[in-house]
Amino acid sequence: MTALPKAELHVHLEGTLEPEDMVRFAARNGVGLPWRSPEELRAAYAFTGLENFLSVYFQGCRVLCTREDFRELTVAYLQRAAGQGVRRAEMLFGPQAFLDRGIPIGEQVGGIVDGIDEVRETHGIDGALLVSAHRHRSEGDALELLELVRPWRERVLGIGLGGAERGNPPAKFARYFDAACAEGYRTTCHAGEEGPAAYVTEALDACHVERIDHGYAAAENPDLVARLADEQVTLTMCPLSNLRLHVTDDLTTYPLRRLLDAGVPVTVNSDDPAYFGGYVNENYQAVTDALDLTEAEVTTLVRNSFSGSFAHAEELRDVFEELCPKASDVSRCVGS
């Protein structure tokens, strides 16, 4: 898997915080944690579902306090990703949890872009930042977040929406996405993880997003599957996350291959890898083993990761030539 160049489109930067670093940052910043060691912390990762996971996840967010913390977190993830063959990483990041604690947006985003620039120079990986709002909050809060990141417009590639789906349908944030589109951001939305297939449709029709994060439930609706294939809407699926949060209890029944066979541009990603037991290569390996994917199917997933990214076609020319050396142009490689 490492030899294959790939892009990662669905990874939460806060979710790459390894237990050892959480404990280290907590000590450095004087933040108390309910766990006394990395081992005790790992034992808490037996999640019963998304809301249980989020309670632990937000505890971890508390230890990130300074620009240097955000830089170190970004560097650690991007270096690990580069070691797994990732050439481009579009990282989701939710500033609201940190703004609540009085950490200025400049400290957060500044540290992240410091890390992106550093690892681009040292490891050649192209990192991009997607700012994500929390859907359990109000749309007004999300719109305020857009205002706060405006000074960083040149370094924020896209806007997303994440968090607990239940009771928080995408349409609740239609004006937020409209405003993001008006400012030229690329857009993506979590839908169809714990929420129904109807949330995927709503994200497309009410919010007009370009990409769907997860989209697991879409497989239950044949008409929606046909639409996703026809419109070539990328799904950023996360097998180990879905397994650990009991979205599915068996990867042998995971709908990735059925979606792929139907022509949906599915991708494989790690979501919150420090919490779910695997980065992007472990996710590829898990779903390949469970579904007995062929080499050609894995290559299609890899191609989808680049064609579904928010990079310009010219930025992807070299990697597509590497993946499809006999293709005369990028479009032939993407469609092959």
Q: 188, 120, 119: which is closest to 160 by C-alpha?
A: 188
For the beta carbon of residue 247, count every other beta carbon within 10 angstroms. 19
Give per-residue pLDDT as tens, 186-244. Answer: 999 999 999 999 999 999 999 999 999 999 999 999 999 999 999 999 999 999 999 99
Give per-residue pLDDT as tens, 141-151. Answer: 999 999 999 99
Which of 8-22, 272-286, 313-327 is least confident? 313-327
**What tokens appear for 120 in the block?**
């681009």
User: Do the beta carbons of residue 9 and residue 236 sit within 8 Å?
Assistant: yes
Based on the residue annotation, tell me whether 193 is a catalytic residue of this protein: yes
Query: Which pLDDT does position 327 carry in this prediction?
Result: 45
Partners of 162 in the β-ladder: 134
Measuring CA to CA, how many Å separate 283 from each of 187, 246, 247, 267, 275? 24, 16, 15, 11, 13
Three-state SS annotation for 220-282: HCHHHHHHHHHHCCEEEECHHHHHHCCCCCCHHHCCHHHHHHCCCCEEECCECHHHHCCCHHH
Give per-residue pLDDT as tens, 19-64. Answer: 999 999 999 999 999 999 999 999 999 999 888 898 899 999 999 9
**Domain spans of the chain?**
6-335
Give per-residue pLDDT as tens, 244-259. Answer: 999 999 999 999 999 9
Helix H or strand E encompassing 60: helix 50-61
Give per-residue pLDDT as tens, 153-172. Answer: 999 999 999 999 999 999 99
User: Do the beta carbons of residue 111 and residue 71 sit within 8 Å?
Assistant: yes
**What tokens appear for 287 in the block?**
């779903």
Partners of 268 in the β-ladder: 237
Give per-residue pLDDT as tens, 272-304. Answer: 999 999 999 999 999 999 999 999 999 999 999
Three-state SS annotation for 5-52: CEEEEEEEHHHHCCHHHHHHHHHHHCCCCCCCCHHHHHHCCCCCCHHH
Name the band, by pLDDT with cuts 50, 70 and 90, for residue 332: very low
Task: Please give the model's pTM, rounded to 2 decimal places.
Answer: 0.94
**The CATH fold of domain 6-335:** TIM Barrel (3.20.20)
Name the band, by pLDDT with cuts 50, 70 and 90, for residue 325: low
Q: What is the DSSP letter of 173?
A: G
Q: 246, 233, 240: which is closest to 271 by C-alpha?
A: 240
Q: Quote the CA–CA distance of 88 and 53 in Å, as a whole number.
A: 27
Query: Which pLDDT does position 317 carry in this prediction?
Result: 76
Choice among 90, 165, 193, 297 that is catalytic: 193
